[in-house]
Homo-oligomer: A and B are copies of this chain.
Amino acid sequence: MTFLLPQQTIFYQIEKALKRYRKLAQKTIDRAGYGVSINQVILLMNLKERPSANQAELAELIFKDFASVTRMIDLMVKKGFVSRIESKEDRRKKDLILTDLGNEMLENITPLIQEYRMIALDGFNPDEINSAFDFLKRITHNCEESTIKKTVES
């Protein structure tokens, strides 16, 4: 069996697509002038949808590490998009509250997100996107530890 150089594999192509997409996304939202990262915006969009979510839940929603979420929120608190208040029911938890500035920022950036998503998916039909979803979900599943044990044992 021949060994493929990493950049000949599908994984490399996945990485490449994602990097280009992220760059486009960041460049597009930079136009709004709030000085936020895509990841920060995504975090706040999720918070807006689920105002009662704590940091652990948010981390799971956006598929990021707890530590990363803590630091992303630190930055957004400094920038005034969100405030972090000790929860009354459980003093280990923090309630996260979108500020007016945070809401305004989301309102202004949402159409820009629509814009770059449409650019990235230009020319694709729903079937193609669904197939890609399926493909990626299968890879995700294959890479899970529980799956691997079964594969190896069988």
Which residues of A approach B to under 8 Å, CB–CB?
Answer: 1, 3-7, 9-21, 23-24, 42, 45-46, 49, 61-63, 110, 113-114, 117, 119-124, 128-129, 131-133, 135-140, 142-144, 148, 151
Residue of A10, A110, A114, A128 with most partner-chain B CB within 10 A: A10
B6 and A62 form a contact (CB under 8 A): yes
A21 and B62 form a contact (CB under 8 A): no
- With A142-B119, A144-B20 known as contacts, the answer to whether A137 contacts B13 (CB < 8 A) is yes
B14 and A18 form a contact (CB under 8 A): yes
Tallying the copies of this chain within the complex gives 2
- With A142-B123, A143-B21 known as contacts, the answer to whether A7 contacts B63 (CB < 8 A) is yes
- The 8 Å CB contact of A136, one of B3, B6, B17, B137, is B17
Can you name the residue of chain B whose Cβ is closest to the Cβ of A27? Answer: B145
A3 and B142 form a contact (CB under 8 A): no
Q: In the assembly, what is the distance between CA of A47 and CA of B13, in Å?
A: 20
